[in-house]
Amino acid sequence: MDHRSQPNRNKCRDHLACANLKRLTTSQQIHIAFNRDAIWDDENHDTEGSHLPESVTDPTLHELLLPRRHNSNSDVAEFEQRDRRVVELLIAYSLLNLDKSRWLKLGLTVDTVSLRVTETLNSLERWKPHVSCSLASPDGEDDENVAVLSFGLLLMEMEAKRLAEPKEEDAEWGSDRPSRDGMLKRILEEWTGCVDDGYKDIATACLLFRQLSEKFYDPSLTQETRRTAAMYRYILAPLYRLVTSGFRAASELFGEFPRSAPSPSIPAPRTGQPASSSGLELFDGEERTTPNPQKVKNAEIFMEELEKFAETIELLTEKNPSALLWAPWRADKIRIMIIDTGIDKNDNIIEGALDDKRIQECCGFVNEPDAAPDPNDVQDKFGHGTHVARLVLNAAPSAEVFIAKIADDKTVNRTDLHRIARAIRWAIEKKVHIISMSLGLESSIRDTEIDAAIHAAVGLNISIFAAASNSGGNKPRAYPSSRKHGIICIHASDGVGNDGFISPTPLKNKDNFSTLGICIPSKWQGVESHISGTSFATPIAAALIANVLEFARHKCELSEHEQTVLHHYDGVCQILRLMVEKNAEARGGYDYIMPYHLWTAENSEANIIELIRECARG
């Protein structure tokens, strides 16, 4: 079949295909043409020719990719890399909609895909892919993955600008006919230097799509829609990221893609999320080089006091490192996992922590869901994670730190939220006590995979701290800090406990913990700055809890059961309440935490120990 210009209205009425069907007494093959408005008899079809009508005006991909082989290409438009990749994405989106349909039953090739060229500067409108096909049942081949495999071959050919010629080694077992599986597997091995890794990864996903779609699981989807969702996750979404990240203009071009063509057959890759690869803001802290001087001074005083407190905790281990051997459940130091944008290994504080093993392990999750975490991909390209790590290392010098990198910048695609869940599961594997997540998504976003990972972590008594958000009263708490249970939500105050005027409105009859998050001195790539945001209050709160738990480990002589209760979500919240200024109304309804609200001159160490023991008794 082929898209054609529609004949005039009168002629169309006389030659409607459906009307002619009434005159057919036996099964016969008919030939029709159509466009978006109507369908009619194809009077121009050559009955002696091929089932696949050949376009006489539109160049095929073959002609566009290899114009020198065609003598008649003077009318063939120039097909640049930008155009080629826009077309790749358009074809991938068509694949998502037409998978397993008769339209793609014979697959996609450079000879059956043609491009109608229009005179416009808009790349999306300039190239209109068409596919020649037959609705007749093909002989012999009935593999539901033909279209996906052929797209993988087509993508490799378009990226390499060369044709994949079949070889004897590609033949199926017991047959002389080459298989698409064999061809795709071979050229993935042979064309190593011709195609960028990202595009080879997508072609590999096409090769392995049968296994990927069978393993894809989401209880909210039917078996058929899981296949579509798997295609979205492993093929369309990664290709969208590659195309739009490579060309800034393409990002604007596909700003609403693929939501511009909604369909009930295209499910979101995760429950509660629209099918879109548009970026979600994950980190929204602020960095300034010329902040308010008084707020800077207050923040510096707070940090000095915090570091003095941390030093007293650090001395406990140094004075008697073997005192806890008789109680193995209290033998381990407190471990903190930071889930953020990685770390700058050249930062002086981080470099020292790596050398003395305070940073125990790092791992990158900026890859596909089924890929192994990458311990080598932890370098921070944005700065946010480095600021957070510096705060934890300074404020909790006794803690062992783990780094999970889940993003390269301030946004993340909806299809990449699995990184957060995988990082949380890695924290469980490493048996950390505290997770610091200085991130937040729009409160309307919920992710079943993240929720499941949080539920598992909280069930193992891992305390999870998350940023409240920086939108003030305009928006509620961000997700996941908006969860009703299991996440300790942290707001931002200045250095003397006053509202930082960026946190969401405090909730009634709920904990509204806040601590320093305004004008904190820091450094990124050698440049000194001052950072503000609930993102930066979060690691300070996490470090405070790490210090108190470390104090309890040495001083409170807790039983194994008591320690378990203390490390539980409820136990940690009780500890935080011990460090809250008693008059919350004086701080605008926020529960301002600071260690010297508990470690006061009037409060003896024996009394502090007893207060912590009460928290451990539940």
The pairing of beta strand 400-405 with beta strand 359-364: parallel
Model pLDDT, residue 105: 77
Model pLDDT, residue 210: 85
Q: What's the CA angle centered on 392, arms 389 and 394, to 5 degrees?
A: 105
* Terminal CA-CA length for the chain: 73
- In the predicted model, what is the mean pLDDT of residues 365-373? 87
The most confident of 86-90, 130-134, 252-256, 300-304, by mean pLDDT: 300-304
How far apart CA 530 and CA 83 sit, in angstroms, is: 43
Residue 157 has pLDDT above 70, yes or no: yes
Query: 118 vs 587, which has greater pLDDT?
Result: 587
Model pLDDT, residue 281: 84
Active site residues: 340, 384, 535
- In the predicted model, what is the mean pLDDT of residues 214-236? 77
pLDDT tier for residue 51 given thresholds of 50, 70 and 90: very low
- In the predicted model, what is the mean pLDDT of residues 391-416? 94
How far apart CA 215 and CA 232 sit, in angstroms, is: 14
Query: 428 vs 3, which has greater pLDDT?
Result: 428
Model pLDDT, residue 14: 44
CATH classification of 286-616 is 3.40.50.200, yes or no?
Answer: yes
Residue 323 has pLDDT above 60, yes or no: no
Residue 303 has pLDDT above 60, yes or no: yes
> What is the per-residue pLDDT across 93-116, written as a single tens digit (0 to 9) for each?
888 888 877 778 778 888 888 887
Beta bridge partners of 340: 405
Residue 247 has pLDDT above 50, yes or no: yes
- In the predicted model, what is the mean pLDDT of residues 296-323? 84
- In the predicted model, what is the mean pLDDT of residues 476-482? 96
> What is the per-residue pLDDT across 443-455, written as a single tens digit (0 to 9) for each?
888 899 999 999 9
Q: What amino acid occupies position 233?
A: R
How far apart CA 413 and CA 156 sit, in angstroms, is: 25
**Read out DSSP for 559-599?**
-HHHHHHHHSHHHHHHHHHHTB-S-GGGGTT-EEB-GGGTS
The most confident of 36-45, 139-148, 504-513, by mean pLDDT: 504-513
pLDDT tier for residue 11 given thresholds of 50, 70 and 90: very low
Percent of the chain residues topping a pLDDT of 70:
75
Please state the φ and ψ torsions of residue 192, each to the nearest 5 degrees.
Answer: -60, -35
Residue 133 CB neighbour total at 10 angstroms: 21
* Residue 258 contacts residue 93 (beta carbons within 8 Å): yes
How far apart CA 240 and CA 253 sit, in angstroms, is: 11
Which residue's entry shows tokens 């006794």? 398
Q: What are the domain boundaries of the chain? A: 1-49, 50-277, 286-616
Q: What amino acid occupies position 36?
A: R
Query: 218 vs 349, which has greater pLDDT?
Result: 349
pLDDT tier for residue 336 given thresholds of 50, 70 and 90: very high
The 3-state DSSP class for residue 114 equals: strand
Model pLDDT, residue 556: 92
How far apart CA 203 and CA 548 sit, in angstroms, is: 51
pLDDT tier for residue 135 given thresholds of 50, 70 and 90: low
How far apart CA 502 and CA 475 sit, in angstroms, is: 10
Q: Candidates 1.10.510.10, 3.30.450.20, 3.40.440.10, 3.90.1170.50; correct CATH number of 50-277?
A: 1.10.510.10
Residue 172 has pLDDT above 90, yes or no: no
Which residue's entry shows tokens 């539980």? 568
Query: 462 vs 8, which has greater pLDDT?
Result: 462
Is the Cα dihedral 554, 556, 557, 559 positive or negative?
A: negative
- In the predicted model, what is the mean pLDDT of residues 532-543? 97
Model pLDDT, residue 66: 79
- In the predicted model, what is the mean pLDDT of residues 118-135? 70
Model pLDDT, residue 376: 92
Please state the φ and ψ torsions of residue 392, each to the nearest 5 degrees.
Answer: -65, -45
- The answer, as to whether pTM is greater than 0.85, is no
- In the predicted model, what is the mean pLDDT of residues 293-308? 93
Beta bridge partners of 524: 527
Model pLDDT, residue 125: 66
- In the predicted model, what is the mean pLDDT of residues 527-533? 91
> What is the per-residue pLDDT across 76-87, written as a single tens digit (0 to 9) for each?
456 777 788 888
